[in-house]
Amino acid sequence: MAAIIEPVTVRPLGYYPETMWVHEDFASFSSNDSAFESYTKQVDELKMQVKDMFINDPTSDPVEKVKLIDSLCRLGVSYQFKIEIEDQMNRIFSLQLNFDDHDYDLYTVALVFRVFRQHGFKMSSEVFNKFKSDDGNFKESLTNDVNGILSLYEAAHLSLHGEDILDQALAYTSAQLDLLGLFPLWFEDLKLASRYSYAKNRIVEVYMWTVAVYFEPPYLLARIILTKIVKFMSIIDDTYDAYATIDELRILTDAIERWDISTIDQLPDYMKFLYNTLLNLYGEFETELESEGRSYGVSYARDALKQMMKAYHIEAEWLNKGYVPSFDEYMENALISCGYHAVAISSFLGMEEIATMEAFEWLKGFPKIDKAAQIICRLMDDITSRVHEQKRNHVATGVECYMKQYGLSEEETVRNFQKTTASAWKDVNEECMRPIVVSMDLLIRFVNLARVIDSLYKGEDKYTNCESLKRYIKSLFFEPIPMEEEAIEAK
């Protein structure tokens, strides 16, 4: 009797680069109470010195105060001085600085302009008139280049001298208090890397992503929650994009919509653990936040996840049918499938009383700043990730859809995407101008989410090609700047 030959399941594997990290890399992340106590004492002393610089600095030039604020912001420690900075910015803005009365150079004027814009104060670009060049192009670039940031990596390597050593030491001690011992190794217990070997193993990169969204110590719980959610989103994305068959995805999408553990038996074996863990994860979030009376946010995050997975499924059906949508049709779905709406809502979890039910309702309605961040994410991702995705059977990206609809070349399409991205950045910045509709602490999450994308997808897809991020991550988490006691005492 002839043996029965089972049909081979063809899967659209992505073959992603392996992770750059091993367990031994994290061996040094252990709690040291005496070290923490020492750091805490030094941070408190340094904070008092900085506050004294705000209050008792004898300088009569408000621009020098703006420069101090800029240093604190660029080093990522401005959250320690919210009240002082707010008071100083309001006072300085009320002075209505007249740059024509002072011999400030272009760098100083641009710095003041940027700091005011970053803190939500509208300032006319006419302040640059006296520097206007023959073609006037420099003013446009200064006005628009407000999305560029000093990355955490660059901040960790600022070459500071003299009086700035205080800021450097404060940045280092705050970072140490926040990061030591907090790296999320929970994924090892779940064996996610071995269970889902087809997916990108990027837990370290995801954590870096989350830290960039909110590095401030008060948002530790929010970071832990968002890291877990983004990690599972990444696995789900690769499941839809680079492993599951269309029939399996139809079952999974339906099960996610139902969000009921009783549907687990309908799933393929490899999906059961993913589904069960996902339901448990959101259940844990509800339990953890319930004690604070803020579990309501979890339902918003769960609904956004369902919405994202429906968008994944639509793209999977397009690929199955060989359908290339128009760019307009593509974007309507792709702004959801990029995941940034779901990530934004998830980023509000754990932000305590700031993230009210009203804030979640506001975000549920896709406000302008949310959509702008989605556009930045979607288009920058499409520009760089298409290179890898074109090597296999993959749904058409925005680049192909745009070329089809408008009859343009790939080069022209990429240029137009870059212009659209720049315009979206203007929307992000405009939404942060006063008066604002929600807390600036919430709005800055959209700014930071867009900054992450700008860092990860400018030039190449660094999330996929993770080797490009290794030196940044090592610098941030494994090679902190040594804090010289002598330098602090000298200060």
Torsion sign over Cα 133, 134, 135, 136: positive
pLDDT computed for residue 177 by the predictor: 39
Closest C-alpha to 209, from 375, 396, 445, 467: 445
d(CA 256, CA 236): 11
pLDDT computed for residue 154 by the predictor: 45
pLDDT computed for residue 132 by the predictor: 64
Say which residue the tokens 């999906």 belong to: 271
Percent of the chain having pLDDT more than 70? 78
pLDDT computed for residue 30 by the predictor: 53
**Highest mean pLDDT range out of 44-48, 331-335, 392-396?**
331-335
Amino acid at the residue 280: N
pLDDT of 180 > 90? The answer is no
More confident call, 138 vs 146: 138
Residue burial 100-131, b: 16+ Cβ < 10 Å; e: rest? eeeebeeebbbbbbbbbbbbbeeeeeebbeee
pLDDT of 25 > 80? The answer is no
Instruction: Tell me the three state secondary structure of residue 435.
Output: coil
- Please provide the DSSP assignment of 108-157 as one string: HHHHHHHHHHHTT----GGGGGGG--SS-HHHHHHHHTTS----HHHHHT
pLDDT computed for residue 4 by the predictor: 54
Burial of 22 by CB count in 10 Å (0-12 exposed, 13-18 middle, 19+ buried)? exposed
Lowest mean pLDDT among 120-134, 222-236, 381-395: 120-134
pLDDT of 484 > 50? The answer is no
Helix, strand and coil percent figures for the chain, each rounded to 5: 70, 0, 30
pLDDT computed for residue 184 by the predictor: 47
pLDDT computed for residue 57 by the predictor: 65
Burial of 375 by CB count in 10 Å (0-12 exposed, 13-18 middle, 19+ buried)? buried
State the average pLDDT over residues 87-97: 84
Listed in sequence order, the residues at least 6 apart from 345 whose beta carbon sits closer than 8 Å to its beta carbon are 297, 300, 301, 304, 360, 363, 364
pLDDT of 53 > 70? The answer is yes
A 10 A CB-CB count for 351 gives: 23
104, 245, 256 from 241: Cα distances, Å: 54, 9, 17
Question: Tokens at residue 67, please?
Answer: 């420069």
More confident call, 360 vs 468: 360
pLDDT computed for residue 160 by the predictor: 37
pLDDT computed for residue 185 by the predictor: 63
Lowest mean pLDDT among 75-89, 151-165, 436-450: 151-165
pLDDT of 46 > 70? The answer is yes
State the average pLDDT over residues 149-172: 41
Q: How confident is the model at residue 301 (pLDDT cuts 50, 70, 90)?
A: very high
How many angstroms from the chain centroid is the CA of residue 450? Answer: 6
Question: Tokens at residue 215, please?
Answer: 């590095």
Question: Tokens at residue 228, please?
Answer: 């877990």
pLDDT of 366 > 50? The answer is yes
State the average pLDDT over residues 308-329: 96
What are the structural domains of the chain? 60-136+145-156 (1.50.10.130), 166-478 (1.10.600.10)
Reported as a single tens digit per residue, the pLDDT across 231-273 is 999 999 999 999 999 999 999 999 999 999 999 999 999 999 9
pLDDT computed for residue 486 by the predictor: 40
CB 341 within 8 A of CB 376: no
Backbone angles phi, psi at 410, to 5 degrees: -60, -40
Q: Rounded to 5 degrees, what angle do the CA atoms 316, 318, 322 make?
A: 120
pLDDT of 158 > 80? The answer is no
d(CA 380, CA 398): 10
CB 237 within 8 A of CB 347: no
| pTM score over 0.75 | yes
d(CA 169, CA 175): 10
pLDDT computed for residue 54 by the predictor: 76
Say which residue the tokens 């680049």 belong to: 399
Q: How confident is the model at residue 281 (pLDDT cuts 50, 70, 90)?
A: very high
Q: What is the mean pLDDT of the chain?
A: 81
CB 404 within 8 A of CB 93: no
Closest C-alpha to 351, from 201, 222, 217: 222
pLDDT computed for residue 151 by the predictor: 42
pLDDT computed for residue 425 by the predictor: 93
pLDDT computed for residue 308 by the predictor: 98
Lowest mean pLDDT among 68-77, 432-441, 464-473: 68-77
Reported as a single tens digit per residue, the pLDDT across 409-420 is 999 999 999 999
Closest C-alpha to 65, from 112, 113, 107, 125: 112
pLDDT computed for residue 382 by the predictor: 95
